Amino acid sequence: DETVDAVYVPLPAALHAEWTIASALAGKHVLTEKPFTSNAAAAQDVADRTSGADVVVMEAYHTHYHPAVARLKEIIASGEIGTVTSAKATFHNPHPPSRDIRWNLALGGGTLLDLGYYPVRMLTELFGEEPEIASAWAAMHGDIDRHVKAELAFPGGVRGQVDSSMWAPRMLGASLRIVGTEGSIAMPFPYHPQFRKIIRVRGRDGKRVERVSARSTYSFQLEAFRDTVRGTRENETDVAAAVFNDTATTEIYTAA
The pLDDT, as a whole number, for residue 124 is: 96
**% pLDDT > 70, the chain:** 100
pLDDT of res. 145: 98
Is the pLDDT at 170 greater than 80, yes or no? Answer: no
Q: Beta-strand (E) ranges in the chain?
A: 6-9, 29-33, 57-60, 84-92, 132-141, 144-153, 159-165, 173-180, 183-188, 198-203, 206-211
Query: What average pLDDT does the segment 174-186 reach?
Result: 98
Largest CA-CA distance found in the chain, in angstroms, rounded: 58
Question: Which one-letter DSSP state was computed for residue 49?
Answer: H
Q: Report the pLDDT value the prediction gives residue 128, as an integer from 0 to 100.
A: 83
By the 8 A CB rule, do 221 and 52 touch?
no
Residue 164 to residues 89, 206, 240: CA-CA distances in angstroms? 9, 31, 24
> What is the rounded average pLDDT of the residues 129-151?
96
Query: In the predicted model, what is the mean pLDDT of residues 233-250?
Result: 97
Note the pTM of the prediction, 2 decimals: 0.96
Distance between CA atoms of residues 68 and 64, nearest Å: 9
Give 3-state DSSP helix, strand, coil % of the chain, rounded to 5.
40, 30, 30
> What is the rounded CA–CA span in Å between residue 195 and residue 188?
9
The active-site residue out of 34, 149, 197, 207 is 34
**Cβ atoms of 60 and 221 closer than 8 Å:** yes
Is the model's pLDDT at 169 over the cut of 90? no
| Mean pLDDT of the region 137-152 | 98
Residue 242 reports pLDDT greater than 80: yes
Confidence at 171, pLDDT banded by 50, 70, 90: confident
* Gap between the Cα atoms of 19 and 236, Å rounded: 21
Average pLDDT over the chain reads 97
Alpha carbon dihedral 95, 96, 100, 104, in 10-degree steps, equals: 100
28 has catalytic annotation = no
Which pLDDT score is estimated for 82?
98
Q: How far apart are CA 64 and CA 161, in angstroms?
A: 19
pLDDT computed for residue 203 by the predictor: 97
